[in-house]
Amino acid sequence: MVHSIPSLPTQASTTGPIITWLEGEQTHTARWQSESRLSPPKKVLVVDDTLTADRAYRMACEGIGLLWRGDFQNARQLLDAMARRIDKPKKPKRISKTQEAKRPSVQDGSTPDSIGAAFHAYRLAQSQRSRTLAQLLIPIGPHHQIQLARAPKTGLAGEEAFGPMSEDYVIPLREMLGVVGAHEWRKKGLVIDTLKTDEERRIYPHYGVFSPIRGEYLDLISKAKLPQALEAHSRAFDIGTGTGVLAAILAVRGIEEIVASEIDPRALRCAQDNIQQLGYAEKIQLVETNLFPDGKASLIVCNPPWIPARPSSSLERAIYDPDSQMLRGFLNGLVTHLQSTGEGWLILSDLAEHLGLRSRAQLLTWIAEAGLVVLAQESIKPRHSKAADKSDALYAARSAEITTLWRLGRANPD
């Protein structure tokens, strides 16, 4: 039975920041919409197809908002041109022989300190890139329709992301393109090999909900030996279910009762849709709660965000976990919610270790302090393209990454 799912609002919230600009010697205002939680630019200029990419880039770097009134497809081309200017390789600064002699020796640039510095530089560069590109703005009319020539129909995509809305708003073009892209993903879906039975099975991610594109951790869950405790109590928890994919895999594996928890309303609606279309609504109960539902289970699965850093948008909350809050919350609550001989399955990449953001010793200390023991580990190498991309700023860390299913048990079973 599926319950406790918040419904879409009958009308999207009209509260929030307001953006102001001068146009035709009149002051105009509209609601500001930014999923990345960016503040509206203090200075806004109305621009059109006559604006060159170089000038647009310079103004965007100065924090000037560019409210587009030209052709929509030209706006997309301008955004791409601005991105190319940001991504253009910078010429290395020339340094003297004396300065070169003073530089620390770093073989292959892959010491923990150098990799950690590369990560922080990467995050800073990505943040600056996002802020700059977010200065190109587009007006949205009632019912999420873009009010520009040659614009696509975006009513359904906007409603899926933000709910029904009858008022105008202004949004960064880059974010609206993300809304449209998420709508296309939602229509097409993502084939999940581990859910295949006699037919192809798909998961349909919603806007703002992380898509399970990294299949290796799904393989770990689908192939690991189930704990013996399930024979007596066939009940499992999926903590932070997201799209509902792990709960669905547990259902495919024959577990009779699964409780999937989630705190994010968008993810809850996404999981509900996926569980219903997969036909597992009788097996999987959805609960809106932070971390653990009530009661105990023989198997408790959690795939927390892997990197202890602060997210900059709702989507990044699936990747970045400030101070490892969700990871530590899961570990600290396991003993209370596990059946005596049950197992907690923690899916965790060691990328944070390679980036110098969390050590293996620290993780093992947290496990022990939570009253847990490591029963076994099952690991797999990532298959995503960045793991083999030597031009990537974090290649040294990504190429060494391993994803592990940690099988945890109570240190003192009853």
Read off the pLDDT of each residue in 314-340 and give the average, rounded to a whole number: 91
How many independent structural domains does the chain possess? Answer: 2
pLDDT top residue among 12 and 179: 179
| Whether 405 contacts 378, CB under 8 Å | yes
Q: Please tell me the distance from the alpha carbon of residue 320 to that of residue 308, in angstroms, as a whole number.
A: 6
| Whether 242 contacts 209, CB under 8 Å | yes
Q: Is the pLDDT of residue 11 over 50?
A: no
- Specify the 3-state DSSP secondary structure of 35: coil
Q: Is residue 280 assigned to a domain?
A: yes
Burial class of residue 345, CB neighbours in 10 A (0-12, 13-18, 19+) = buried
| Same domain (yes/no): 292, 146 | no
| Same domain (yes/no): 297, 382 | yes
Q: Is residue 2 assigned to a domain?
A: no
- Answer with the one of 185, 213, 238 that is the final residue of a domain: 185
- Answer with the one of 136, 161, 185 that is the final residue of a domain: 185
pLDDT top residue among 139 and 106: 139
| Whether 229 contacts 298, CB under 8 Å | yes
| Same domain (yes/no): 120, 55 | yes
| Token output for 390 | 């030597």
- Answer with the one of 131, 151, 185 that is the final residue of a domain: 185
Burial class of residue 37, CB neighbours in 10 A (0-12, 13-18, 19+) = exposed
Q: Is the pLDDT of residue 182 over 80?
A: yes
Read off the pLDDT of each residue in 262-284 and give the average, rounded to a whole number: 95
| Same domain (yes/no): 222, 317 | yes
The CATH number linked to 315 is 3.40.50.150
| Token output for 300 | 């408790």
For all residues of the chain together, what is the average pLDDT?
A: 89
| Same domain (yes/no): 177, 210 | no
Q: Which residue range forms the structural domain that includes residue 131?
A: 18-90+108-185
- What pLDDT, on the 0 to 100 scale, is given for residue 10? 42
Q: Please tell me the distance from the alpha carbon of residue 367 to that of residue 349, in angstroms, as a whole number.
A: 16
| Same domain (yes/no): 344, 384 | yes
- What pLDDT, on the 0 to 100 scale, is given for residue 109? 47
Q: Is the pLDDT of residue 198 over 50?
A: yes
122-136, 226-240, 309-323: range with lowest mean pLDDT: 309-323
| Same domain (yes/no): 272, 366 | yes
| Same domain (yes/no): 24, 36 | yes
Q: Is residue 127 assigned to a domain?
A: yes
| Whether 67 contacts 21, CB under 8 Å | yes
Phi, psi of 211 (to 5 degrees): -90, 135
**pTM for the full predicted model:** 0.87
Confidence of residue 104 (pLDDT cuts 50, 70, 90): very low
* Separate counts of helices (H) and strands (E) for the chain: 13, 15
Q: Is residue 274 assigned to a domain?
A: yes
Read off the pLDDT of each residue in 224-233 and give the average, rounded to a whole number: 96
Q: Is residue 196 assigned to a domain?
A: yes
- What pLDDT, on the 0 to 100 scale, is given for residue 319? 86
| Same domain (yes/no): 276, 315 | yes
Q: Is residue 96 assigned to a domain?
A: no
Q: Is the pLDDT of residue 243 over 70?
A: yes
Q: Is the pLDDT of residue 50 over 70?
A: yes
| Whether 116 contacts 356, CB under 8 Å | yes
| Same domain (yes/no): 171, 317 | no
- What pLDDT, on the 0 to 100 scale, is given for residue 96? 58
- What pLDDT, on the 0 to 100 scale, is given for residue 214? 80
| Same domain (yes/no): 172, 258 | no
- What pLDDT, on the 0 to 100 scale, is given for residue 7? 46
Read off the pLDDT of each residue in 6-18 and give the average, rounded to a whole number: 59
Q: What percent of the chain has pLDDT over 90?
A: 71
| Same domain (yes/no): 167, 221 | no
Q: Is the pLDDT of residue 397 over 90?
A: no
Q: Is the pLDDT of residue 399 over 90?
A: no
DSSP summary character for residue 24: T
